[in-house]
Amino acid sequence: MSQASKPPLTPSQTVGPYFALGLTLAEHQSTMKSLVSSEIHGQGQPISITGRVFDGAGRPVDDAMLEIVQADASGRLDNDGFAGFARADTSMEPANSFTFRTVKPGPVRDGEAPYICVIVFMRGMLLHACTRIYFADEEANLNDPVFSRLPEDRRDTLLARRLDAADHGAYQFDIHMQGERETLFFKLPNATNA
């Protein structure tokens, strides 16, 4: 291939944005159907979780992708009839928000509070960030073996709050990547450090 026929280089970036390849949704000009949606169906109390991802300057991130993993309403992760995985991005919702529609999970083990694991991917991050969503209306949070060990002044960053007291199914959960209100993120064990 001659020098004149080589395609031009793409602009240099740390990583992404490339999420359209994985999402394959119509808004990304793809005719393929997404294999993963932002909804989890199953028995139990239907809930929605809406929020935004904020950067260090407090601006909403317009191209973050979030994945959630959760137990079913009875706390089981191994329920063949329940796919406890969903994906949403912040590019299409109003105000660069995300929305998950799911069922409220049950506690996985005795003494635990219900929670949802969240994985955040976004431009400029070489590695994803992991956190949890706990529910502010759960008394079990204070005795949860993970939540109760977190610094008291940071626990609030993991709490989803009901949007309306009359509607037990709508929750708000924002993620702050940096700054004064930074969400508490979990460092996961690395196989190379084992």
Residues in the chain: 194
Q: How many domains does the chain have?
A: 1
So what's the pLDDT on residue 117?
97
- Residue 87 resides in a domain: yes
- Residue 32 resides in a domain: yes
Q: Please provide the average confidence, as pLDDT, over all residues in the chain.
A: 84
- Residue 3 resides in a domain: no
Q: What angle do CA 41, 164, 161 make, to 5 degrees?
A: 70
Average the pLDDT over 20-37 and give the result.
59
Domain that holds residue 87: 15-186
How many whole angstroms separate alpha carbon 62 and alpha carbon 55?
10
Name the band, by pLDDT with cuts 50, 70 and 90, for residue 122. Answer: confident
pLDDT in tens, 139-183: 999 999 999 999 999 999 999 999 886 666 999 999 999 999 999
- Residue 92 resides in a domain: yes
- Residue 7 resides in a domain: no
Q: Is the pLDDT of residue 24 over 50?
A: no
- Residue 9 resides in a domain: no
Predicted TM-score of the model (pTM): 0.81
So what's the pLDDT on residue 103?
96
pLDDT in tens, 31-73: 655 667 899 999 999 999 999 999 999 999 998 999 999 999 9
Which token pair is 74?
């009875």
- Residue 1 resides in a domain: no
So what's the pLDDT on residue 101?
95
pLDDT in tens, 65-101: 999 999 999 999 998 889 999 999 888 788 999 999 9
CATH code at position 160:
2.60.130.10
Contact criterion met (CB below 8 Å) for 160 and 138: no
- Residue 24 resides in a domain: yes
